[in-house]
């Protein structure tokens, strides 16, 4: 019976191959947006400013293999971090799989369509906010946003 289940339902995150692990990413690009943390409260604010390496058309890193070198504070997601990074969107497959929850119906692994995340308006490409490259912004605090995508608040808040 388990042969009929997809790998993300039968394997632990630590047992996944590199290809399986990478395929969990839905390609939304939300993790590549700059975040600001209030030093006093620990509250995290999301901005509509993307890392300079995020291709806003494809929502892919322009230099993925060298991202840690190019951006030293770029977070390398691991199974342990999938449950502890508070800024990951509630729709993030890494977070969902770590919690034992199903992937959303629009996830590319479910649909077989790599553009399904964009069609569902979950990605920064289809955001209802204008997304800027960090190269075009002087003050991140001027770019804090409440949410990016209708029905897909990266912090799980529901209006």
| 30: CB partners within 8 A, 6+ apart | 46, 89, 92, 123, 124, 148, 154
Question: Per-residue pLDDT tens for 6-48?
Answer: 999 999 999 999 999 999 999 999 999 999 988 898 888 889 9
Residue 2: what pLDDT? 57
Question: Per-residue pLDDT tens for 43-94?
Answer: 888 899 999 999 999 999 999 999 999 999 899 999 999 989 988 888 999 9
Write down the residue that tokens 């939304």 correspond to.
28
Question: Per-residue pLDDT tens for 126-137?
Answer: 887 889 999 999
């Amino acid at each position: 019976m388990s042969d009929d289940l997809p790998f993300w339902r039968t394997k632990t995150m630590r047992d996944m191959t590199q290809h399986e692990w990478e395929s969990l990413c839905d390609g939304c690009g939300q993790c590549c947006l700059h975040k600001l943390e209030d030093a006093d409260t620990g509250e995290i604010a999301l901005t509509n400013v993307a890392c300079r390496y995020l291709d806003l058309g494809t929502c892919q890193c322009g230099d993925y293999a060298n991202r840690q070198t190019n951006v030293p504070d770029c977070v390398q997601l691991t199974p342990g971090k999938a449950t502890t990074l508070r800024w990951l969107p509630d729709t993030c497959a890494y977070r969902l799989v770590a919690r034992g929850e199903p992937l959303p119906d629009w996830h590319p692994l479910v649909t077989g369509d790599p553009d399904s995340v964009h069609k569902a308006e979950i990605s920064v490409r289809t955001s209802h906010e204008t997304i800027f490259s960090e190269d075009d912004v002087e003050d991140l605090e001027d770019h804090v946003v409440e949410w990016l995508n209708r029905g897909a608040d990266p912090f799980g808040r529901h209006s």
